[in-house]
């Protein structure tokens, strides 16, 4: 039995990268994303949510209720159609809810509401982050209770460019041109080091609409802490969650503005460090419960 979520949460995710590309921009030759005005590194919310999805699919994907809607090679309309089939709703019928069906093969009225609820029950990422399911058979839209911002580096980052060599070629024609030398040159771009901070918000009001539970929230915290350990690659270098700071409100609407809680957390480069190259080069000051607004507590994971 799922436990209803009754408290608002705000959280800060601190993660770092060393000698890797945390989130390449395909429109810029897959270079690490950077704010061109400040030089601060960026990681999109989509990238972070992708890692959460992958973690949940790896850990819980075979369990009912923990499938992932947006996953590699998925055909989304087929998954929406399956929800209707599982509900026993025949979208080929000419009528729906006592009215003429507007479009054959597409749900309407109460059918859409039922399909939407079914999708929330089956897919963890829908009841967590929401989804647009108005394509194909149409299961409407879901606004997720968990929202995450872009991550931004604490300090400006520098992109390092490296030339790399592959001791092989793809075709015989390339080999002939090189007289059998068979070398292929390429480039790799990395961030030597960057500490990034993303902000997140959990709404119990929206959680009630999607069925996002206390158990789902515990899994989300687990995923945010452990997702990089299941996502290693040569391109991303060393990435790790360093801290997850969670503010819990005593009420559903919250006891303090989220931005004021975030401002209480201080992250500063140590005075004797010229160029940070590890998390220990920073000081992190998280306020104790007694220093927080009434009705708010903090947990550091």
For range 182-202, the mean pLDDT: 91
Whether 205 maps to a domain, the answer reads yes
- pLDDT at site 52: 97
- Least Cα distance to 30 among 187, 146, 195 occurs for 187
Q: Which of these ranges, 75-89, 131-145, 155-169, 267-281, has the smallest mean pLDDT?
A: 155-169
Helical segments of the chain, H only: 45-60, 76-86, 110-122, 124-129, 172-177, 204-210, 214-226, 258-263
- The upper half-sphere exposure of residue 241, i.e. CA atoms within 13 Å in the direction of its Cβ, equals 22
Whether 139 maps to a domain, the answer reads yes
pLDDT tens-place string over residues 5-38: 999 999 999 999 999 999 999 998 889 999 999 9
Q: What is the pTM of this model?
A: 0.91
Q: How many CB atoms lie within 10 A of CB 269?
A: 15
The span from the CA of 84 to the CA of 141, in Å, is: 15
Whether 3 maps to a domain, the answer reads no
- Least Cα distance to 230 among 68, 13, 59 occurs for 59
For range 194-218, the mean pLDDT: 97
How many domains does one find in the chain?
1
User: What three-state secondary structure class fits 112?
Assistant: helix
CA torsion 86-88-91-96 (nearest 10°) is -130
- pLDDT at site 114: 95
The span from the CA of 210 to the CA of 129, in Å, is: 10
The span from the CA of 55 to the CA of 224, in Å, is: 9
For residue 129, the enclosing domain spans: 9-174+186-300
Whether 80 maps to a domain, the answer reads yes
pLDDT above 90 (res 293):
yes
Whether 4 maps to a domain, the answer reads no
Whether 39 maps to a domain, the answer reads yes
Whether 180 maps to a domain, the answer reads no
pLDDT above 80 (res 150):
yes
Instruction: Quote the percentage of the chain above a pLDDT of 90.
Output: 78
- pLDDT at site 37: 96
Contact partners, residue 193, CB within 8 Å, separation at least 6: 16, 17, 18, 19, 157, 275, 276, 277, 278
- The upper half-sphere exposure of residue 261, i.e. CA atoms within 13 Å in the direction of its Cβ, equals 29
Instruction: Tell me the pLDDT of the chain averaged across its residues.
Output: 93
pLDDT above 90 (res 55):
yes
* Confidence band, pLDDT 50/70/90 cuts, at residue 261: very high
* Confidence band, pLDDT 50/70/90 cuts, at residue 172: confident
């Amino acid at each position: 039995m799922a436990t209803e979520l009754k408290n608002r949460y705000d959280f800060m995710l601190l993660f770092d990268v060393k000698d890797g590309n945390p989130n390449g921009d395909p429109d810029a030759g897959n270079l690490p994303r950077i704010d061109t005005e400040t030089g601060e590194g960026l990681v999109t919310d989509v990238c972070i949510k992708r890692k959460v999805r992958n973690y949940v699919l790896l850990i819980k994907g075979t369990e009912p209720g923990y499938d992932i809607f947006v996953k590699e090679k998925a055909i989304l309309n087929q998954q929406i159609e399956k929800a209707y089939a599982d509900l026993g709703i025949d979208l080929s019928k000419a009528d729906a809810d006592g009215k003429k069906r507007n479009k054959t093969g597409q749900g309407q009225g109460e059918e859409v509401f039922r399909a939407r609820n079914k999708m929330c029950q089956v897919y963890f990422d829908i009841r967590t982050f929401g989804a647009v399911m108005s394509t194909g058979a149409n299961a409407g839209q879901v606004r997720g209770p968990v929202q995450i911002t872009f991550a931004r580096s604490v300090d400006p980052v520098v992109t390092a460019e490296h030339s790399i060599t592959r001791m092989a070629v793809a075709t015989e024609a390339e080999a002939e041109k090189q007289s059998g030398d068979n070398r292929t040159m390429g480039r790799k771009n990395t961030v030597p080091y960057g500490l990034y901070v993303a902000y997140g918000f959990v709404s119990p009001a929206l959680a009630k609409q999607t069925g996002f539970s206390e158990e789902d929230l515990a899994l989300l915290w687990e995923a945010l802490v452990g997702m990089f350990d299941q996502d290693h690659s040569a391109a991303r270098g060393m990435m790790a969650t360093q801290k997850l700071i969670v503010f819990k409100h005593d009420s559903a609407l919250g006891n303090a503005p989220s931005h004021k809680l975030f401002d209480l957390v201080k992250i500063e480069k140590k005075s004797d460090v010229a160029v940070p190259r590890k998390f220990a080069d920073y000081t992190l000051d998280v306020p104790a419960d007694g220093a927080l607004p009434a009705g708010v507590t903090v947990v550091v994971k």
